[in-house]
C-alpha cells in the first residue's frame, strides 16, 4: 500500500486508530504483474481492522495467471469502496461503472471482488453492453481470469 498525502491521524474512540489520507494508491502484485490497483481521492484507514474506506475510486483488477496478463480484467470507477488490506477483497458501491478486458461495459450500484477466487459478483441490477447489444439482469458473476460473465436473476437482452 502506498499512501499519498497523509492528512492526519485521529482516534475516533479510545483504542480505535484511524488514519485519514488525502489520497491513496493500493497495489497488490502477483510476480511482476499488478493484480489490483486502487486509486482513491480520499481514504480512511483502520489499521486495527485492516480496512481502508475509499471515496471516488478508480480500480483496475487484472488477470495474472501463470505469468500471462490480459486474458481478462476489469477497469472501473465507483463513488466509494472498502478494501480488506489483509485479503485484498474489495466492495465497490455507488454508480459502479466499468469495462472488461474485452470491451464489455457494465453498470450497477454495488459489487464485490473476491481476490483469492478472482471473481466479481453483484446481486444488484446490472446492465452490460457489448457490440451485440445490451444485457440486463438482477446480478452477475464475472470470473476475471477466464474473462467470463454469468447474468443472474431474470436476465434479458435488448437488441440493438
What is the per-residue pLDDT for 34?
Answer: 66
Residues of the chain with pLDDT under 70: 1-16, 30-34, 63-71, 159-160
The ranges assigned to domains in the chain are: 2-159
Summarised one tens digit per residue, pLDDT across range 34-61 is 678 899 999 999 989 999 999 999 998 8
- Grid cell of 58 as nine digits: 478508480
| Topology (CATH) of 2-159 | lipopolysaccharide transport protein A fold (2.60.450)
What is the per-residue pLDDT for 160?
Answer: 60
Gap between the Cα atoms of 107 and 89, Å rounded = 20
Q: Which residue has the cell 437482452?
A: 157
Amino acid at each position: 500500500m502506498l499512501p499519498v498525502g497523509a492528512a492526519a491521524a485521529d482516534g475516533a474512540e479510545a483504542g480505535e486508530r484511524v488514519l485519514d489520507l488525502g489520497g491513496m494508491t493500493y497495489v497488490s502484485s502477483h510476480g511482476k504483474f499488478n493484480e489490483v490497483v486502487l486509486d482513491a481521492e480520499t481514504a480512511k484507514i483502520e489499521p486495527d481492522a485492516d480496512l481502508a474506506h475509499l471515496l471516488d475510486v478508480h480500480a483496475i483488477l487484472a488477470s495474472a495467471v501463470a505469468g500471462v496478463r490480459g486474458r481478462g480484467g476489469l477497469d472501473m470507477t465507483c463513488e466509494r469502496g472498502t478494501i480488506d488490506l489483509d485479503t485484498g477483497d474489495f466492495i465497490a458501491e455507488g454508480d459502479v461503472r466499468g469495462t472488461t478486458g474485452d470491451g464489455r461495459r457494465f453498470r450497477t450500484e454495488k459489487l464485490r471482488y473476491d481476490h483469492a477466487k478472482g471473481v466479481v459478483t453483484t446481486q444488484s441490477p446490472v446492465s452490460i453492453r457489448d457490440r451485440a447489444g445490451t444485457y440486463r439482469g438482477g446480478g452477475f458473476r464475472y470470473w476475471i481470469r477466464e474473462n467470463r460473465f454469468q447474468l443472474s436473476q431474470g436476465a434479458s437482452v435488448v437488441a440493438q
